Amino acid sequence: MGLDSPSIAVIGGGPAGLMAAERLSARGCRVTVYERMPTFGRKFLMAGRGGLNLTHSEPFDHFKARYGAAAARLGPYLDAFPPGALIAWAEGLGQPTFTGSSGRVFPKALKASPLLRAWLNRLEAQGVRLQTRAEWLGWDAAGALAFRGLPTERPDAAILALGGASWPKLGSTGGWAQVLAAKGVEVRPFQPANCGFVADWSATFRSRFAGTPLKPLALSFQGTTVRGEAMIAAYGLEGGGIYALSAALRESIARHGRAVLALDLRPDVAEDQLAARLARPRGGQSLSNFLRKAAGLPPVAVNLIREAHGGALPENLAHAIKNLPIVLTAAQGLERAISSAGGVAWPEVDEDLMLTALPGVFAAGEMLDWEAPTGGYLLQACFATGMAAAEGVLKRL
């Protein structure tokens, strides 16, 4: 690349920023990635501890619908960089993938570090300058990008990929919101997404069952039912099934002060079948042993039914097993959430993800106002919007 090549600053070294840098450098741009933390992709590496769920193999129309209110805006970027493109990209870095029984797609290594190492090596080979410990402060009085302890920069274009506000200790603090708001950019308030929720457990239940999984399980709220699992936490409930409903649960609590979640503790058995099994004579069996054998209920499920019904098992136990109401009163905070809702409002960016108030400055990744459940949807949209922002820069140049 010559000195007359366009210079691009990418601020943020997570998946969206690194994808933008890869695309731009491959097209001959001089790219510098600025990352506030000492290393790149910290949140990406943390996600890899759970196997690194890259994307999902479900039908694409269903896939796009997972983004809820933001699906229409994200749709074109997902069309341009769909799950198949992400899988091909990972395998091009020497990281073969596989599809699990749930439809989720993982690298065979089941961790993020090999992929991230190969990715950073590719970026360096393409001439990308990787600058860590570079805290972005906004713009100086002359309009140059300002960094703490580093020289200012005047690139031909800039891409902001600064993340949302969850897991702040890994670098996504949301501190950039004030910088953009001062420039007239509307930033929607951050809210926890893919988070656990508070339930008022008794001290006995909490001490005995915190850390115990609930599965198999179906969870229903406001007409939506998901299959998944949950975990009893000391504060309430968490886990994939809860995360899939977190947006609706969070909004209900904000409006009404609580949300009543319905659990089906035996989703593969019909209520009338359960009732027939429970009507059999118990004989000399203990109640817990009878419920385990007749209804397949482990101790955590039996005691959860007691919690929901004031300490006693209800008379219509089969109905309670299939429709157990759990009252949730608060979402866990951003510091414990997997992702965040809120961020740059969609009307603030054009179809190429350029901020209309700041020509030549683009936004990508979780700093945009969208949310999605876990299952590969978070990373897919980060990669796709990073690619889209890069294409927007190339189009503008």
What pLDDT does 48 receive? Answer: 73
Q: Tell me the mean pLDDT in the region 154-175.
A: 93
Report the share of the chain in percent with pLDDT over 90. 87
Region of residue 90 (left: phi > 0; alpha: psi -120 to 50; beta: else) = alpha
H or E element: which one contains 117?
Answer: helix 113-125
- Could you give the angle at the alpha carbon of 305 between the alpha carbons of 303 and 309, nearest 5°? 115
Residue 45's alpha-carbon distances to 3, 110, 300, 371, 374, in angstroms, are 34, 11, 33, 20, 15
Chain CA centroid to CA 184, Å: 27
What pLDDT does 1 receive? Answer: 54
Residues ≥6 apart with Cβ < 8 Å to 353? 77, 362, 363, 364, 368, 385, 388, 389, 392
Is residue 3 very low, low, confident or very high in pLDDT (cuts 50, 70, 90)? low
Q: What average pLDDT is seen over the chain?
A: 95
User: Taking the C-alpha atoms of 221, 374, 218 and 106 in order, what is their torsion angle to the nearest 10 degrees?
Assistant: 160
H or E element: which one contains 82?
Answer: none
H or E element: which one contains 113?
Answer: helix 113-125
Q: Which domains does the chain have, with CATH numbers?
A: 7-192+338-396 (3.50.50.60), 197-331 (no CATH)
Q: Which of 105-114, 194-203, 246-255, 274-283 has the lowest mean pLDDT?
A: 274-283
Q: Which of 217-221, 225-229, 272-276, 287-291 has the lowest mean pLDDT?
A: 287-291
Residues ≥6 apart with Cβ < 8 Å to 350? 356, 392
What pLDDT does 351 receive? Answer: 98
pLDDT greater at residue 281 or residue 123: 123
Report the share of the chain in percent with pLDDT over 70. 99
The answer, yes or no, to whether residue 283 has pLDDT greater than 90, is no
Is residue 252 very low, low, confident or very high in pLDDT (cuts 50, 70, 90)? very high
By the 8 A CB rule, do 278 and 321 touch?
A: no
CA distance 24 to 12: 15
The answer, yes or no, to whether residue 2 has pLDDT greater than 90, is no
Q: Is the pTM higher than 0.75?
A: yes
By the 8 A CB rule, do 229 and 214 touch?
A: yes
Burial (CB count <10 Å: 0-12, 13-18, 19+), residue 281: exposed
3-class SS at 336? coil
Could you report the per-residue pLDDT of 41-59, keeping only the tens digit for each? 999 998 878 789 999 999 9
Respond yes or no on whether the N-terminal peptide bond of residue 192 is cis (omega within 30° of 0).
Answer: no
The answer, yes or no, to whether residue 26 has pLDDT greater than 60, is yes
Q: Tell me the mean pLDDT in the region 58-86.
A: 97
What pLDDT does 170 receive? Answer: 85
User: Taking the C-alpha atoms of 281, 283, 285 and 291 in order, what is their torsion angle to the nearest 10 degrees?
Assistant: 0
Residue 161's alpha-carbon distances to 9, 47, 187, 222, 307, in angstroms, are 11, 17, 14, 34, 44
By the 8 A CB rule, do 46 and 166 touch?
A: no
The answer, yes or no, to whether residue 366 has pLDDT greater than 60, is yes
Q: Tell me the mean pLDDT in the region 190-199.
A: 96
The answer, yes or no, to whether residue 291 has pLDDT greater than 60, is yes
What pLDDT does 172 receive? Answer: 87
For residue 41, give the nearest of 203, 145, 167, 177 by alpha carbon. 167
CA distance 377 to 104: 10
What pLDDT does 13 receive? Answer: 96
Q: Tell me the mean pLDDT in the region 368-389.
A: 96
What pLDDT does 65 receive? Answer: 95
Residues ≥6 apart with Cβ < 8 Å to 146? 136, 137, 138, 139, 140, 152
The answer, yes or no, to whether residue 148 has pLDDT greater than 90, is yes
Residue 366 token pair: 């979780």
For residue 378, give the nearest of 83, 130, 140, 143 by alpha carbon. 83
Q: Tell me the mean pLDDT in the region 316-324.
A: 95
